[in-house]
Amino acid sequence: MTGTPATVALTRAGVEFTLHPYEHAAGGPSTVSYGGEAAEALGLSHEEVFKTLVARVDGRLVTAAVPVSGSLDLKALAAALGAKKAAMAEPADAERATGYVVGGISLLGQRSRMESVVDESVLGLAAVYVSAGRRGLQVRLSPADLLRVSGARTAPLGRPG
């Protein structure tokens, strides 16, 4: 298995991580929730698997990560960044900015490093799972390492599903 920009970034930072591949059901009904698909395929709690989303906040692209058990509160994201307005980015814009395809977008190893915010619930976890940079591959690492390598801050971003 070759590395992704996310795993290369983790290796360069000297971070301990494990990769967790799973069979991605391309075109199946589970692709509506890539993160949910990952949690179920790997037998993980939906609270410990985080999905990475790209939003446009006051005109600039940012990334946000929330547990797959819920959804992103756009008002909370705007507030966390001291902005007035946030909306989900167009998928093509998200892919162009991050260098990843939708369903495989990672906070780690992005083409252009964007400002990032992670839901504060990550701080209560011993380990977190996020996309390793492609569909069908998650990376497990400590929340502290995720925040350090991604440069993200935490804030209350998630809404229960």
Show the domain range for 150.
5-160
* pLDDT band, very low/low/confident/very high, at 27 (cuts 50, 70, 90): low
User: Using CA of residue 30, residue 89, residue 123, residue 133, what is the dihedral sign?
Assistant: positive
Residue with the bigger pLDDT between 116 and 25: it is 116
pTM of the model: 0.92
CATH of residue 120's domain is 3.90.960.10
Q: Tally the domains of the chain.
A: 1
pLDDT confidence of residue 30: 43
Average confidence (pLDDT) over 31-57: 90
Cβ atoms of residues 31 and 37 within 8 Å: yes
